[in-house]
Structure 1
Amino acid sequence: MSQRTYNQLWTDAQLELGRLLKEELPTEPPRPEKDRVVFFQRLAMLYVRYIQIFRQLEKVYDQVVHPQKRRVIRAILDGVMGRVLELKNEMVEKEFSEYHYMDDVLHDLKLTPVDLEIPIPRFFISDRSKEFQERKTMLTDIFKLVEVTDSQEPLMTKGMSQEEAIKIIQVVERARQGRLRAKLNEESRNMNRMYKTKDPGTAAIELATVCIQKVWRGYIQRKRSKIARAEEMIFLGMAMDPKYQLPCPAEITAQTSEAWTRIKQMEHNEDYQKSVVAVTNQLRDVEGHDMSKTMKDQIRQWFIECRDATGSFPDFPDEEDGGSALIFAEKNPQQLMEEIAAKEEEESTNKPKGKEEKKEKGKKDKGKDDEEEEEAGLKMLPSAFLSDLEVGNKTFVDFWQTRNESRNFNQRHEVELIKEEKRKVIEAEIRVQVDEQMRQELAEWKLAVDKDKSGKTKGNAKKKKGSKSGKKKKKEKDLTADRTLESLCQELVEQGLLKQANNVRLQDYMGDYSYLGTTLRQNDIEPMPSLSDVRQVLSLYAILPLGSQVVHEKAPLIKAILLAGPAGVGKKMLVHAICQETGANLFDLSPLNTAGKYPGKSGLAMMLHMVFKVARLLHPSVIWIEDAEKMFYKKVPKEEKELDPKRLKKDLPKSLKLIKGEDRVLIVGTTKDPLSADIKSLCKMYSKIILIPRPDYGSRYILWKQLIRKHGGDVTRALDISSLAKISDGYTPGHIVRVIQSVVTKRRILQQANRPLTAAEFVAPLAKIDPVFQEEEEALKNWYAKTPLGKKRIKAATGKEEEEAPVKGKDAKKGKK
C-alpha cells in the first residue's frame, strides 16, 4: 500500500480514538453503575474498540516512513497499549477471572474472533535491531566457547571396555552377513522365475490384454471422476483452488514493498537524526545570544517591578522549582512573591505536625470514602494513559490532520518542526546559564540596597541544601562491581543459568476461540479457557509490558506469572515464545537446574545477584522457574532431599521486591503439580496465576490439521480429522505432536501419493499414551479455586460479597461506639 493509504488509516484510527476519549473523559463525571453486568459490558466494549485502534496503529507505525509522524504515532501507540492493559486489569478486578468471554460484544460490533487477537508489535525488535544484534553476537560467541570447552573433555576421557567393543563388532558382522544372505536369496528367486516361465498360448495373451484394458480403463475413469468432483467442489465454493494455496504474485510484491519501506524508514531516520544535530547547532549559534539577552532583560524588568510593588527585591526561584520559568508565567509579581513565601512556610513547618495532620485527614477521608462506597456503585479506576492519549490526539488534530503534504511526496522530515522543538530545548539550556548569572546579579543588587535581607536568604538557602542532603537513600551493594558484563554472562552460561531461547513464535501456540463462554456463564457454569484465551492473556501480561518501556513503567506492574497445567499443554513453549517475541534473554533458576551450584548462603546470594544484575542490564529478560512447586513443597520427597529444592524459597521473593517499573524483568514459573506446594507462599510469590487446561474440540481440530501439514503430511478427504479430534479428548498438544512424529515419517511422506494418510493410522500410537483424565483436570480446577482470585470468583458467584459489604459497615460503626 502507498503512504497515502497508511496516512488515511492513521486518520481513521485517530477519529475512533477521539470518540473513545470523549466517552472516557466527559465534561461531567459519570454516575457509578450499580449493575455489575452492565458495567462489565461497558468495559468489554471499550476494550474491544481499543484493540481495533491498537491493530490499526501497529500496522501504520510499521509502514509509515515520515520520521516525525512515526514519533507521534509511537507515543499514541504506547498509550493505547497501556490503556488496553488497564482495561484488562479492571475487568479482572470486577469479574474476578483472568479469562473473559465477549461473544455478544463481537456480535454487536460485527467482528470475528480474529479481530480480538492481540497483535504483537513488530517494532519491539525492529526498533532495537542493532542493540539486539550486538547482544546476540556476544551471547552466541559465549555459547560457542562454552560448547567447545564442554565437548573437548568427554572426547579425551571417554573409554570403552573390551566387552562393549566385542558386542559392537558382532552386531556389525551379523548385519553384514544378513545383507549378503538376503542378496543371495533374491538372486536365487530370480533364477527360479526365469526357469518357470513358459511360452503362453494365443488364448492366454487375449485374456491378459483384456485384463490390462479393464484395469487401465478403470484407473482412467476414476482419475477423471476425481478431477470432475474436485472442479465441482471448487465451483460450489466448498474447496479452495490450488492456485490460491500458493502465494500469488500480488502477495509477493506486497511483501517486497513492505521490506523496501522498512529500509526507507531507516534511511529517513538517519537523515532526520543528522538534521536534528545540524539544526540544533545552527539555532544555538544564531539565536542563542538573542535568547539569553531577552531573558536577562525580562528578569531585570521583573526585579524592578517586584521592587516597585513590594518595596524589596524578590528571592530568585530555585532550579528545582523551575528557576526563571516561574517568572514568565502569567502572574503578577506580587502573586509570585506570595507563592514563593507560601512554599518557604510549608518547608519550614515541623515534620511531626505534618504527619499528625495527615493522619487526621486520612481518618476523615477514610470515613468519607466508606460512606461513598456504600452509596456508590462500580467506578472506573484512574488511568495513567488517558492524559497521554489526549495530548497525542490533540497534536494530531492541531497539526497533522489538516497539514498539506502535497509537496512532501517522499515523506521526508520537516525542518521547521525540528526548529520549533529544539528552540524549547535550547531555551531551557540557556535559561539555566542565565539563571546562574542573574542570581549573582540579584545578590549584588541586594548587597547594594539591603544588606540584612541578603544574609537571611543565604542562610535559608544553606538550610535547604542541608535538609535535602539528609534524605539520601542507601544504595544496594554491588557484589560484582569489579567485573565486566561479558565475564558475568560467560559464568552464567557455564553454570547453565543463562540459556538460548528456542525459535518459537506465539502464533505457533495454536488453539481455537471459545465460542460458548458467554452462554455457559449466563447459565452459571464456569467454562474452561481455550488455548486461544491463554495465548491472548500472555500477550497482555508478558509480551506487551516487556516490549515497551513506557507501558512497563505506567501500566499495572506484573513481576511474576505462574503457568499451571498438566504436562504437555505447552508451558515451556510459551516461555520460549515470550523471549522470541520481545528479544528477551532467558535465565533458568529452576530448582533442579540450581541444585549443587553456588553452595552456601554467600553462594546463593551471589547467584541471585548475578542473575538479576545481568537481567536488568540486558533487559528485557525472562527468569524461568520450571517445576515451581518444588520451591514451595509441603513435604520434600526423599529422593529430592539431596537436591534441596527449597533453597530459593526465602531469597527469591526478596530479590523479586527489588524489581521496579523501569526494570523490564519478568519471572515466569511453570508447574504441572501445584497441589504438592504450599498455596499461600506460592500465591505470594506469583501475582498472576494462569491455568492452562486440556485443549477443547476446536483447538484439537486445528492442532491435528496444522501439525500434520507442518510435518509434511497431506490433509486429504481420506483423513477424517473430525474423528481424530473427537477421540483425542483428554490428550494434550504434546501428545498430539508425539503421535504425528511417529506416524508421519520420511518414508510415509513418500508413500502419500499412492496411499493417503488415514485417521486409523494415528489411533494405535495414540492409544499407547495415557491421556489427562477428567479427575486430574478437576483437581487443578479445585486447586485454582483456592487461589485469591478463585476465592473472589466463588464469592461473587454465590453472592456472598454483596452480603458481606453492609456487615462490615455495621461492625465499623459498633467499633466506633
Structure 2
Amino acid sequence: MPFDVNHKLWISTSKEIGQLLKKQMRLKTIEPPEEKALSFKILCELYVLYVELVNKLTFIYFNTFQVQKRAIVRTLVENATQQLMLLKEELKEIELSEYVYMDKVLISRKLTPRDLMIWRSPQFLYRRPLDIQNIISKNKIYMNDEEKEASAAEDWVKVTEAVELIQAHERARRARIYKANIKYDKKKYLEVKQRKKINYMFTFKPNQAMSIPVKRTIFNADFIKTEESCADLRDRDDNMNELYDEQELERFNTLRNNAARIIQSCWRAYKTRKILKIKKQFKKELLGIKKIRKLKRPNQFSNSVLEMYKNEKLKGQLDEDFAKLIMDERTRLLQVRTPWMMEDISDHIRAWFDEFYGKTGNFHPYPDPVKKGTVLVVIDETMTPMEFQESLNKKPMSKEEKKKQKDKIKAEKKKKKDKLRQQKIKEAKRRKKLKDAGIIDIGYIVSSSKPIVKIEETMKQFSIDWRDVDEYLNRNHDPIKDWVTEEQLDVIHQELRQLVDEYMRVEYELLREAWAKDNKVPYKALKVKKPKKKKNKKKKKPFDPTEDRTLDSLYNELKDDGVIEQVSHKDFDEFIADFNFLADDTRDPEDNLTTVGPAKGDIKMVIQESMLGMSEFDIAKPKSILLIGPLNSGKKLLCNIIASELDAVFINLSPEKTTQYADDMNMFLHKVMKVAKAFQPAILYIEEAHRVFAKKTPPEQAAMKPTILASYIAKKILKPIKKSDKIVLLGTSNMPWAAKGTLKRNFKKIILIPKCDYGTSFMLWLDLMTENAPDDLEAYQYSALARVLQAYNSGDITNNIAQTLNVERKMRLRFDALEPKEFLEYFLSENNPPMFPPELKMMEKFTKWFGKSNKFEKMRKKIMAIKAAKNKKKK
C-alpha cells in the first residue's frame, strides 16, 4: 500500500480515537438510563464505532513498518479489539442471544450488517516463524543462500526437461503434417508452395528404445471430402486451366467470392452485435440501470498470504536493524559515557553525604540494594535533614513498641483492604439491583474497562512523544535514534548506579568510622539488605517420546497417514447467506427482546468473533466449537472456510482417521498436539462428533471404534491448550441428541446453523445461476424458485444447480429455455428416493437440544416462563 495513503489514514483514525475517548468520558458521568432500550442503543453505537476503529487500525498495523510506531499501533489494535469483545458480551447479555441486532444504529450511520464483520485476513492472521512456514509451504517463502542455489539448480533441470519435451512434440507434429501433405497433395505441396524437401526418415527396430519420446496421434478425419479414390487423387492434374474453359472458371470464382462474402458478412455481424452489446451494457452500468441481477460480493482487502509473509520478512529485517541499532548505541554509550556517568553519580552521592553532615553532623543511613540503592536519593524518597535530626533525637524503640507499630500498620492495611472489599460488594449489589430492574449502568461499564484506560494512556503518551516528529518525512521507516539513546542512557545509568553504590558504600563506612573516632563512639558497620535471589526451580520437563525426531518428520508422517489434510481455499463469501433484517423491527414491546430467530447469514458474525482469538493479538477465544445442523446445511464448508481464513493446519481426528491408531492413542495424540503447537494456528477437526460421544454405537460403525477418542479429549487435547495457543477443536454434528452429556461439556461453544430462509435461498439461486450462465439467465424467476424451494438446505440447492446446469444443458440454453420444473425434477425424479426438505420436527429437535446447551437460551426461557405466568394471572 502507498506510504501516503497509510499516513493519511493514520491521521484520520487518530482523530476518530480522540473523539471516541471524549464521548466515553461523557458517558462515564451520566446516570444509568431507566429505559433498557436507550442503554442498548448507546452500547450499539459504541460497538459500531469500535468495529470501524478496529478495521482501520488493523489495516494500518498491517501496513506500518516503522518499529517504534508499529508497537503503538499494535497496543491500540489489541485493546480496541478487547473492548469490542467486551461490548459484544454486554449486548448479548441484554439481548439474551448469541445474535445481536442493531439495525436502527446501522441505518443512522448508513451501514449494513455486512459492515459489522470484523475479520479481515490476512490482517488478523497469526504469523508463523518462516522456518515453520517453509515446512508447510510447497514453495519456500524464505531461503538462505545455499537453499536458493539448490532451488535454482532444481528449477533449471525442470525447465530443461520441459524444453526437451516441447521440442520432441513439436518435431513429431511437424513430421506428421509434412507426411500428411505429401500423401494427399504431393505436387501442390512441393511445387506451388516451393518448399524445400525435408529429409524425414523413420526407422524402428524391435525392442529399441526411442531416443526422443514422441506422442503418436491417430487421425480419423478426412482431409479432402471427395468421392474420388486415392489413386485418382494421385493421378489428378491440378492445372485447372487445361481441364476447364473460361466460363467454368469464372463460375467457380463467382461461387468462391459469394461464399467468402457470406462468411465475412456473418463474422462482421457477429462482431458488431458483440460490440453493441458491450456498449449497451456499459451504458446501463453508467446510468445505474444495469439489468443483469448478479450478486455483488464486497471487495475486501485482497492481500494474499504470500504477500503477508513478504511484508513480515521486511518487518523482520527492520526489527533486526533496530536490535542492531540498540546494541551499537549501547556499546557506544558504554565506551564514551561510562567514566563520566560514574563520576557524576559518585559526586552526587558525596554531595549528599556533605549535605547531611553539614546540617546534622551525621550521615543518613545508606539505602539498601533491596530498595534500589541511591536511586531513592534521586527521586527524593529519603529523609530530609530535619526529619533525620528528629529521628536521632527520638529514643530507640523497644521490641514491644516495634511489634505494636507493626501490628498497627498491619491493622490499618487490613482495614483499608476490608473497606475496599466492602465497597466492591456494595457496588456489585447496586449493579445487580439495577440489572434486575432492567437498568444498565453504562457509566460503570465504560469507567471499569481496562482496555479503554490503556487506549487513553497510549494516545496521551503518543501525543507527547511524537508531537515534534514529522512522520511524513520518514519514508524509509528509519527508527528514531534519539529515543534509543535516551532509553539506553536510562538503562546504563541504573546498571552503573548499582556498581557505584558498592564502591561508595565502602567510602560511606570509612566516613562513619572516622566520625565514630571523632565522637568517641563505638563503630558498628551497618547491615546490608540485599534482594533475595529468586531460585529458579527447575521444572521437570514432561517426557517426550519423540524428542529425537524433527518437526518436519512428524508433520510429514501425519500428512502421509491422511491425518493432516490440505483444504481447498475458501473465504466467507463462499458461504452464501443473507442476514435477518426483520428481527430488530419485531421486538417485544415489554422486554424489548427479539421474537424472530436468526437467519443463516448471522452465523458468520458469531464464527468471526470466535476466530478473533486465533489472531496474533491477545483476545479471549473458545477452546472448542461445535457446529450443529441438518445434512447439507454448510457445516463442512464453514470448517473449510475457517481453516482457509486462518491459514491453519487442518488435523482430522474423525473416527475414520483415528481408528488406525486405536492401539496407541497416547502416542498418536502426543504427536498431534506437538505438531499443532509447533505449526499453530491449527484446527483439530472431528466430523460428526456425536459418534465419538455416542450413547449407542451402530453395528456398522463398531469396527471403526468411534468412541475411543472420547476419554482422551479433555485431558490430552483441551487441557494442554493454553490461552495463548492458537489451537481450536472444531466439530460438526447432525445428530447431537444421539450423544452423551459429555459432548456439551467438551465443546465450550455450540452454534446452531439456522434453516434456510427466503433471503438466503434467493441469493443462492441468483448467485450460482448467474455465475454459470450470466447472459442466458439475465431475467429469470429467481424469486419464485426461492419461494417454492425455500425449505431445502443450501447444500441441496447448490448440488441441484451444479447437476441441472451442466455443460450440456448450458450449451442448449440459447434455443431451449431453462424451465423451473427441471430443478424440481432433480429433487423428485433424479434422486432415489426423492429428496425432500428437512422436516419441521427435525428442526424443532435441533432447537430444543440447542436451548438446553446455550446459556442465553436458558435465560430467555426463564424470562418467557415468568412472563407467561404473569399473563396467566392477569387472565
Tell me, yes or no, if structure 1 residue 111 matches structure 2 residue 111: yes
Letter of the structure 2 residue corresponding to residue 95 of structure 1: E
What does 1:67-466 align with in structure 2 at a 5 Å threshold? 68-125=68-125, 130=130, 133-137=133-137, 237-239=288-290, 270=317, 273-274=320-321, 277-278=324-325, 280-286=327-333, 289-290=336-337, 293-294=340-341, 297-298=344-345, 301-302=348-349, 305=352, 311-318=363-370, 328-329=378-379, 331-332=381-382, 368=426, 371-377=429-435, 378-379=440-441, 380=445, 382-398=448-464, 403-404=469-470, 408=473, 411-415=475-479, 417-421=480-484, 423-425=486-488, 427-428=490-491, 431-432=494-495, 434-436=497-499, 438-439=501-502, 442=505, 445-446=508-509, 449=512, 456-457=527-528, 461=531, 464-465=532-533
Q: CA shift at 1:86, angstroms? A: 2.2
Q: Taking structure 1 as reference, are residues 643 and 399 closer, same or farther at Cα in structure 2, changes over 3 Å only?
A: same
Structure 2 CA distance, aligned partners of 1:286 and 1:444?
Answer: 27
Q: Which digits, 9 at most, give the CA deviation of each residue in 1:574-620, with x for residues without a partner?
A: 22222222222112222343124142xxx333322222222122222
Q: Count residues in correspondence.
A: 693
- Structure 1 vs Structure 2 CA RMSD: 4.9
What's 2:714 paired with?
A: 653
Q: Secondary structure at the match of 2:559?
A: helix
Partner of 1:545: 613
One-letter code of the match for 2:721?
Answer: I
Name the counterpart of 2:565: 499
Q: Which amino acid is the alignment partner of residue 56 of structure 2?
A: Q
Of 657, 669, 672, which aligns to 1:593? 657
Q: Is the 8 A contact 1:562 1:686 kept in 2?
A: yes
- Hey, what does 1:532 align to over in structure 2? 601
Aligned CA distance change for structure 1 residues 140 and 781 (closer, same or farther; 3 Å): farther
Specify whether residues 261 and 538 from structure 1 end up closer, same or farther in structure 2 by C-alpha distance, changes over 3 A only: closer
Say which is worse superposed, 232-241 or 726-735, in terms of deviation: 232-241
Match of 2:253 in 1: none
User: Contact between 1:730 and 1:774, CA under 8 Å: does it hold in 2?
Assistant: no
User: Is the Cα contact below 8 Å between 1:268 and 1:413 reproduced in 2?
Assistant: no
Report the Cα offset of residue 5 of structure 1. 4.1
What is the DSSP-based 3-state SS (H/G/I as helix, E as strand, rest coil) of the residue aligned with 2:709?
Answer: coil
Counterpart code for 2:668: M
Aligned residue in 1 for 2:733: 671
- Which of 746-755 and 367-376 deviates more? 367-376
Structure 1 contact 44–102 (Cα < 8 Å) conserved: yes
Instruction: After TM superposition, give the deviation of residue 535 of structure 1 in Å.
Output: 1.2
Structure 1 stretches lacking a partner, 5+ long:
142-186, 188-215, 339-343, 804-817
- The 3 A distance-change label for structure 1 pair 443 and 231 is closer
> Compared with structure 1, are the counterparts of its residues 125 and 131 closer, same or farther at alpha carbon in structure 2 (3 Å cutoff)?
farther
TM-score normalised according to structure 2 size: 0.68
The AA in structure 2 aligned to 1:612 is: M
Summarize the Cα distance change of 1:133–1:643 in structure 2 as closer, same or farther, 3 Å threshold: closer
Residue of structure 1 in register with 2:548 after alignment: 482
Between the aligned residues of both structures, percent identity stands at 26
Superposition pairs of residues 662-811 of structure 1, within 5 angstroms = 662-679=724-741, 681-711=742-772, 714=775, 716-755=777-816, 757-767=818-828, 768-787=834-853, 788-799=855-866
By how many angstroms is 1:137 displaced? 3.0
After superposition, the Cα gap between the structure-2 partners of 1:525 and 1:419, relative to the gap in structure 1 and judged at 3 Å, is closer
Shift of 1:751: 3.2
Checking the alignment, whether the CA contact within 8 Å between 1:299 and 1:327 is kept in structure 2 is no
Most deviating of 659-668 and 516-525: 516-525
Given the two structures, how large is their TM-score scaled by the length of structure 1? 0.72
Tell me the CA shift for residue 278 of structure 1.
Answer: 3.9
Alpha-carbon distance in structure 1 between the residues aligned to 2:104 and 2:648 = 37
Letter matched to residue 388 of structure 1: K
Q: CA deviation at 1:242?
A: 12
| 1:574-585 equivalent positions in 2, closer than 5 A | 574-585=638-649
Whole-angstrom CA distance in 1 between matches of 2:302 and 2:536:
60
- Look up the equivalent residue of 2:600 and give its one-letter code: L
1:103, distance to aligned residue in structure 2 (A)? 0.8
Q: Does 1:514 align with 2:580?
A: yes
CA distance in 2, matches of 1:756, 1:300: 99
Any idea what SS the aligned residue of 2:751 has? strand
* One-letter amino acid of the structure 1 residue matched with residue 666 of structure 2: A
Secondary structure of 1:649's match? helix
What is residue 165 of structure 1 aligned with on the other side? Answer: none
Amino acid at match of 2:661: K
Summarize the Cα distance change of 1:295–1:573 in structure 2 as closer, same or farther, 3 Å threshold: farther
Question: Relative to structure 1, is the Cα distance of residues 39 and 798 closer, same or farther in structure 2, using a 3 angstrom cutoff?
Answer: farther
- Counterpart of 2:861 in structure 1: which amino acid? I
Q: Is the 8 A contact 1:588 1:624 kept in 2?
A: yes
Cα distance in 2 between the residues matched to 1:520 and 1:779: 24
SS for the counterpart of 1:749 is: helix
- CA distance in 1 between partners of 2:39 and 2:847 (Å): 27
Going from structure 1 to structure 2, the CA distance change for 1:777 and 1:391 (only over 3 Å counts) comes to same
Query: Aligned partners of 1:664 and 1:587: how far apart in 2?
Result: 14
**Offset, 1:48:** 0.8
Name the residue aligned to 2:667. Answer: 606
Q: Residues 578 and 434 (structure 1 numbering): CA distance in 2 closer, same or farther, change over 3 Å?
A: farther
Give the aligned residue type for 2:368. F
Q: Which runs of 5+ in 2 are unaligned?
A: 142-225, 227-265, 392-401, 514-521, 829-833, 871-875
Q: Once structures 1 and 2 are overlaid, which stretch shifts more, 634-643 or 468-477?
A: 468-477
Kept in 2, the 8 Å contact 1:570–1:733? The answer is yes
> How far is 1:449 from its partner?
4.9
Task: Tell me, yes or no, if the aligned pair for 1:713 and 1:749 is still in contact at 8 Å.
Answer: no
Counterpart residue type for residue 435 of structure 1: Q
Contact 1:67 1:412 in 2 (8 A): no
Deviations 1:344-381, CA, capped at 9 Å, x for gaps: 99xx99xx999999998898577535643454443428
Tell me the distance in 2 between the aligned counterparts of 1:362 and 1:73. Answer: 35
Q: 1:82-140, CA deviations, whole angstroms, 9 ceiling, x for partnerless residues?
A: 22222222322343311111111112223233322324143345966945641323799
Structure 2 CA distance, aligned partners of 1:38 and 1:243? 39
Aligned to 1:202: none
Q: Please report how far the alpha carbon of residue 471 of structure 1 lies from its aligned counterpart in structure 2 after TM superposition.
A: 7.3
Amino acid paired to 2:642:
I
Higher helix share: 1
- TM-superposed CA distance for 1:398, in Å, is 3.6
Greater Cα shift, 114-123 or 37-46: 114-123
Q: Which amino acid aligns with 1:770?
A: F
